[in-house]
Amino acid sequence: MANKNAKDFLNYVNASPSPYHAVAESVKLLEAANYKKVSERDTWNVKPGDKFYVVRNQSMITAFAIGGKWKPGNGFTIVGAHTDSPCLRVKKKSDQSNHGSIKVAAEWYGGGIWNTWFDRDLKLAGRAMVRGPDGKVKHQLVHINKPILRVPNLCIHLNRGVNDGFGPNKETEMVPILAQTATYELNKPVEEKDNSYGSGTSIKGKHHPLFIKLLENELKVKAEDILDVELCFADHQESAIGGVFDEYIFSPRLDNLCCCYTALTGLTDADKTLDDDELCRVVTLFDNEEVGSGSAQGACSSLMEYMLLHII
């Protein structure tokens, strides 16, 4: 059983390279346990035995299980965690190509151990704001599950002090490389030869044409219909069980997807005792904990108070 639980957790982490994917995977877990989605805009006419969840911003989710003996005025049992993890994120204007390389400018997000990001095969994941054929705008998940980027270390001859302690400059030394400029120039379509990607309301002009082409291929839409992106760099290497006795989990994003997964599975596994509970069970997975929790989907917002008032 322990090994199965560990493997299920690895599957959850591997499918959650961004907070948006973590929420999508959390929805799958909850709906498999017969939790229903509700909107925070609606009036909740809750009754004992109800199980439901709310999503905000695609990056925060709260699940409720109303005890079978619950009545208005009874208390709550609440477990909190967060969907975001320390990572590199794509800057809003990311084209930083020079010295023969096409690069994607990155910013530090959260409290990361940044020198561990060097010499790793990196992929991209997050969400895009896309305009559909009907003109309506929707959010679409992005997961380019291929090792397309890398932040390389210099060879020892050019950085003799690297083993004495290396504090990378985030603006100049942590810019992931996407491709060689010469290779791109030889392979790009004729219509791109003038590099005339405009600006306007789409992401054109904010990112390199090759980067935009990757997004076009992934999203199956034209560049002018991609209005914005929120993307994380992620390690392409998947999580694994390790150690001689299989007692370890080697994985990125343990902060805080481990708590997200255990909170959700603890909630759903306990459903069999829900009929005898006098309380309302709550699991809430906030976003933006790594940067202070001050957003509308963060723990410092009025969101939790607002949702509890919905119930009582």
Residue 201's pLDDT is what? 66
Can you name the CATH fold of 2-85+253-311? Aminopeptidase (3.40.630)
Question: Distances from the Cα of 25 to the Cαs of 18, 113, 139, in angstroms?
Answer: 11, 26, 16
The CATH code of the domain at 87-235 is 2.30.250.10
CA–CA dist 140, 63 (Å, integer) = 23
**139 class by beta-carbon count within 10 Å (0-12 exposed, 13-18 middle, 19+ buried):** middle
Residue 54's pLDDT is what? 98
Q: How would you write the pLDDT of the chain (312 residues) with one tens digit per residue?
A: 568 999 999 999 999 999 999 999 999 999 999 999 999 999 899 999 999 999 999 999 999 999 999 999 999 999 999 999 999 999 999 999 999 999 999 999 999 999 999 999 999 999 999 999 999 999 999 999 999 999 999 999 998 888 888 888 989 999 999 999 999 999 987 666 554 455 456 798 899 999 999 999 999 999 999 999 999 999 999 999 999 999 999 999 999 999 999 999 999 999 999 999 999 999 999 999 999 999 999 999 999 999 999 888
Residue spans of the domains in the chain: they are: 2-85+253-311, 87-235
Residue 162's pLDDT is what? 87
DSSP-assigned letters across all residues of 31-69: HHTT-EE--TTS-----TT-EEEEEETTTEEEEEEE-TT
Residue 189's pLDDT is what? 77
Question: Distances from the Cα of 78 to the Cαs of 179, 260, 286, 296, in angstroms?
Answer: 47, 13, 13, 19
Residue 165's pLDDT is what? 83
pTM: 0.94
| Three-state SS at 258 | helix
